[in-house]
Amino acid sequence: MILTLTGKLAGKTVRRLGFGTMRLTGPGIWGPPSDQRLAIDVLRKAVESGIQHIDTADAYGPDIAEPLIRAALSPYPDDLIIGTKGGFTRQGPGRWTPCGAPAYLRQCVEMSLRRLNVEALDLYYLHRIDPAIPLADQLGELERMREEGKIKALGMSKVDIAQLEEAISIAPIAAVQNPFNLHEPRSAEVVAWCEREDVAFVPYAPLGAGKCLEPSQPLSGRAVTPQAALKWLLEYSPIMFPIPGTSSIEHLMENLESDGYVKP
């Protein structure tokens, strides 16, 4: 299979291998990084090396990752897409509670605009569907903000096909973000749905928290490298946009080797 380096995401053609910022925060995705200067350097190195898609969320920290992106990268390159998310509240390290109240989601969008210092968000995901509130109310509020020009494209996170079918009856969906990796390809049917609907699929946990690197994986029956696991994702589908994250420049550069391209 010939590896395609670029694809269409939220209306732009970008390099398909992106960068996730969740690991730039403290333990339990709570609080600031132990070395803020290093976190900023990692973000800058990612973009300098050809990354054109940065993934983040207001819940990372919370309110830590987005300001790091602004400090590192603003003013942003024209070819950079920043995808962010809203719809979670945080109660402590490792604790996440969905909140899809329309007023809360509107506040999330407004605060992300401010933290990232942009007039419109390139790609905005409903981070989780709140089961206590109709999806039409949650996504409908985000669609109104898209129509107001505050969001350019909408996405959904951790959803099944039934939820996606309901979502596209409410608003146009540009991207889906679900867990998917060599160790646990359980969203294969959602990937197929995205292919049919021409929707980008953004797999989070693309290395399965390290489980993809353990022995007895489907690639060879033995431990594989991060580069091989990421290349497997890129070759799986042309609508796949992996977002491996790291707080290490060394690991960042190793991940970039998976698509065979590193900008000088």
Number of residues written out for the chain: 264
Q: With respect to residue 222, please indicate whether it lies within any of the assigned structural domains.
A: yes
| Mean pLDDT across 204-210 | 77
**CATH number of residue 38's parent domain:** 3.20.20.100
Q: Active-site positions?
A: 60
Give residue-wise pLDDT tens across range 14-70: 999 999 999 999 999 999 999 999 999 999 999 999 999 999 999 999 999 999 999
Q: Quote the domain boundaries for residue 160.
A: 6-259
Q: What is the pLDDT of residue 183?
A: 79
The count of other CB atoms within 10 Å of the CB of residue 60 is 26
- pLDDT at site 164: 98
CA distance 256 to 219: 19
> How far apart (Å, rounded) are the C-alpha atoms in residues 106 and 57?
14
Instruction: Give the SS3 label for residue 20.
Output: strand
Residue 152: is its pLDDT beyond 70? yes
- Asked whether residue 1 is assigned to any structural domain, the reply reads no
Q: What is the pTM of this model?
A: 0.93
Provide the pLDDT for residue 243: 96
Q: In the structure, what pLDDT confidence band is assigned to residue 122 with cuts at 50, 70 and 90?
A: very high
Question: Is 208 within a domain?
Answer: yes
Number of domains in the chain: 1
Determine, yes or no, domain membership for 89: yes
In DSSP terms, 86 is beta-bridged to 126
In a domain, 147, yes or no: yes
Share of the chain above pLDDT 70, in %: 92
The answer to whether residue 98 is domain-embedded is yes
Query: What's the whole-number mean pLDDT along residues 115-139?
Result: 98
Give the pLDDT mean for 175-197.
93
Report how far residue 212's alpha carbon sits from residue 83's, in angstroms, rounded to the nearest whole number. Answer: 25
120 is written with which tokens?
């419109």
Amino acid making up residue 169: S
- Number of helices (H), then strands (E), belonging to the chain: the values are 8, 11
Looking at residue 4, its pLDDT comes to 75
Query: What local confidence, expressed as pLDDT, does residue 211 receive?
Result: 55
247 falls within a domain? yes
pLDDT of 216: 52
Check residue 1 and give its pLDDT: 43
pLDDT value, residue 207 = 84
Closest CA to 51 of 42, 38, 39, 64: 42
Split at pLDDT 50, 70, 90, the class of 213 is: low
Tokens of 76: 């942003």
* Per-residue pLDDT, 247: 96
Looking at the predicted structure, is the pLDDT value of residue 194 above 60?
yes
Residue 264 lies in a domain: no
